[in-house]
Chains A and B, each alone.
Chain A
């Protein structure tokens, strides 16, 4: 019986292998096509670049060209850079052109296409530089344009897929070595097979690529954005993994048994688990990997721990430098501590007052006090920002009414910090109030009755009954509140915006700025984020220990 089962497995296995190999072959051929297009674009670039130089040297103008180079008439590539002082203005530099018209203005359709491309991309996207490619097609007579931030990379890219392949192969070997029992020589065979067929296809693609020809229609350039390449390779990697998973399932009996035994719960968890794995854990791990890279203008280079050493012991680390890590960390800690103190004290006082027996309109009051929590916090932040406006904001109006001068809230670190603080206190006390109210209701009344019998004053009742009873109930909320405040991105980002000079930024907004507002230093920012994660993890670990202990004591 055992033998029979094995036979079926092998035939399945062969079928599956063939299926995977065919699929991968198809995908590779698609990639190869894309790569030759890529090559084509590269040749346009070199040709037009050369031409452009020649022409500009000779005639200061664009001369007619032989049409046999491409079935296109004109192609312009611009580099666009955001003006530093006026973010809505873009400076446009022509970097490549291939045209038989004298100037761009003569080709009004193309000109319009370029403007359309710009207009559709009035973005707040984090690109400081972007490229516009505009061209028209002789056959269709239509003009096209598209904007890419990465066209330069695309033009200059070598063959990035080798990295995907290497990662895929390493992953497979790792997985197979972990899951396949040691004495099973199949794991070596498996690794060898995977490496061999990946290498085979890679060499195949190289050979074809050395032969740039055929595909001439520039229309297709649009389709070779890098995303297509990546999509293909993601699929290839998934297939690789499936292949291995199938192999393992046949070889590691123990694992298979567990899977079969708990089939039902695993199936129920699978969709949600997969989503979380792909969109929470995969980004987390790729963020950690990214933190070992230096990213400059879209180029990645592996630098081990350089980002970390830069952050922790690098040049920015003068304690007075608002962009330095320790300064920001200090601000973050102060921010969290002060906020939690006020949230807790205000929330608790209101809850104690509302908890009074026989108080009228209790419901109405508690609804009013919950409202700050209910309003989306980005709106709260923007409202408070408007209230702190120097000339028209109601807070300055109130100060004037009291006889003080108007304060320019966001030009000084202290006042900007205070503005953030007021906003967040307003935003955060309802949570603590609600939690305290809930906890108060669970304190048995007979404790107070007994205290009254013993002649205890109100303050004594509070000190010896209410406070000790509240402590365990409020501890989780405080722990949670600290995490929230530590990461309160919206308030800092929208109220003070880190002004002046990012001196009121907390760690998380600083990390965001490094990635999206300071030349796309993704690696540096990822290192920042990783440090924040480590800090939070340690914090959670420590508080987990403490609150765990507290529970044991009871």
Chain B
């Protein structure tokens, strides 16, 4: 029980903590900076974390009106929610049934189907943005929330299929076999057994699709030409335009947009990691 030994250990631990706290500070600094800007009274930058705090930016943000006196930001929030929820739902429905087929059946083209899904993961949205733009233009869905929903709902489907297939594979087949013995049809099994059993996986996949749509910026910025059809990301970017930069509004908007998704993300993050490596690389 020598004193020197006891002291040596805490020193190392303290050093580790100091380094970690320093790194945490660097990591959190941009976040603090945004919070500071959001709650500061001016539209410009604030130079330090000290100073007065107000809710003005938030109030201004939600009372922005367009030329017809409609509440613009409220409408855009609604656009974002509407688009994200509907496209997440459609994407989930499409992915669930496909994942079930990939998990439970043997059929011709199964392998090539899976590798086709992988290929879609290789080209990001920007690559197909021109064809999509021309397609939406031609079928008259440019400047329409439904055009955006159409595009969003399928972008996450391949990933969702990988996630859900992985989960369905873990559900023992004996349950279904028993149900078949009782005379249940394939579809009844899918609806009444598989879906209720995989509720958590469905929730996480749905949340992921929701977040993808909620965070999407470039497709929305390209396809939506009118302010009243903007989603929140496009509006936030327009606050930081080249001519009049409204940092306070941008920061306030960022806080409101990010908080829910950050919390959601911290919640589903663990489950995503498995899906990412399994789906992203191996087939």
Seen from chain A, the residues whose Cβ lies within 8 Å of a Cβ on chain B are 88, 119-126, 225-228, 230-231, 234, 258, 262, 264-266, 268-269, 271-273, 275-276, 278-284, 286-287, 290, 350, 353-354, 356, 359-361, 365, 367-380, 382-387, 389, 392-394, 397, 426, 434-435, 438, 476-477, 479-480, 483, 487, 489-490, 493-494, 508, 511-512, 515-516, 522, 525-526, 529, 532-533, 536-537, 540, 547
Contact = CB atoms under 8 A, between A and B. Distances in A.
A489 B218 contact: yes
B118 to A, nearest CB: 8
Contacts of A438: 273
B128 A435 contact: no
B122 interface: yes
A262 B107 contact: yes
B94 interface: yes
B134 A392 contact: no
A476 B45 contact: no
A251 to B, nearest CB: 19
B200 interface: no
B123 A121 contact: no
A272 B218 contact: no
Interface stretch (B50-58, B137-145, B173-181): B137-145
Contacts of B104: 265
Given A269-B98, A368-B28, A426-B27, A392 B44 contact: yes
Contacts of B257: 376, 379
A432 to B, nearest CB: 11
A374 B265 contact: yes
Contact of A234 (B44, B139, B266): B139
Interface in B156-206: 157-158, 161, 186, 190
Contact of A371 (B28, B124, B137, B281): B28
Contact of A387 (B33, B44, B126, B131): B33
B131 A286 contact: yes
A279 B130 contact: no
Contact of B138 (A230, A279, A284): A230
B237 interface: yes
B81 interface: no
B45 A393 contact: yes
A547 B132 CA distance: 33
A149 to B, nearest CB: 9
Interface string B265-282: 110010001001100111
Nearest to A364: B24
B139 A227 contact: yes
B134 A476 contact: no
Interface of A is mostly: helix
A383 B138 contact: no
Contacts of A525: 130
A383 B33 contact: yes
Given A382-B240, A487-B126, 14 more contacts: A121-B225, A124-B225, A264-B105, A268-B190, A273-B98, A279-B151, A290-B134, A359-B13, A371-B27, A375-B262, A376-B217, A378-B237, A480-B281, A533-B127
Contacts of B266: 367, 370, 374
B140 A225 contact: yes
A290 B265 CA distance: 38
B154 A375 contact: no
Nearest to B90: A275
A388 B150 CA distance: 37
A372 B258 CA distance: 11
A179 B271 CA distance: 43
- Point out which of B16, B126, B133, B139 has the most chain A C-beta atoms below 10 A from its C-beta: B126
B236 interface: yes
A421 B97 CA distance: 41
A280 B154 contact: yes
A271 B265 contact: no
Contacts of A377: 215
B98 A268 contact: yes
B75 to A, nearest CB: 14
B79 interface: no
B65 interface: no
Contacts of B126: 487, 489, 508, 511-512, 529
Given A265-B105, A426-B27, A494-B237, A397 B47 contact: yes
- Point out which of B30, B120, B151 has the most chain A C-beta atoms below 10 A from its C-beta: B30
A249 to B, nearest CB: 16
Given A379-B236, A383-B33, A383-B34, A286 B16 contact: no
Nearest to A288: B131
A287 B225 contact: no
A124 B221 contact: yes
A506 to B, nearest CB: 11
A226 B138 contact: yes
A284 B225 CA distance: 23
Given A376-B257, A508-B127, A522 B250 contact: no
Given A125-B225, A529-B127, A435 B261 contact: no
A356 B16 contact: yes
Contacts of B186: 264
Given A231-B140, A376-B214, A537 B108 contact: no
B64 interface: no
B6 interface: no
A476 B277 contact: yes
Contacts of B236: 378-379, 382
29 contacts: A124-B225, A234-B139, A265-B110, A268-B100, A272-B97, A275-B94, A276-B117, A286-B131, A356-B16, A368-B27, A371-B262, A373-B265, A374-B269, A375-B262, A376-B217, A376-B233, A378-B237, A383-B30, A383-B34, A385-B240, A434-B269, A435-B277, A477-B277, A493-B218, A508-B126, A515-B133, A533-B122, A537-B119, A537-B122
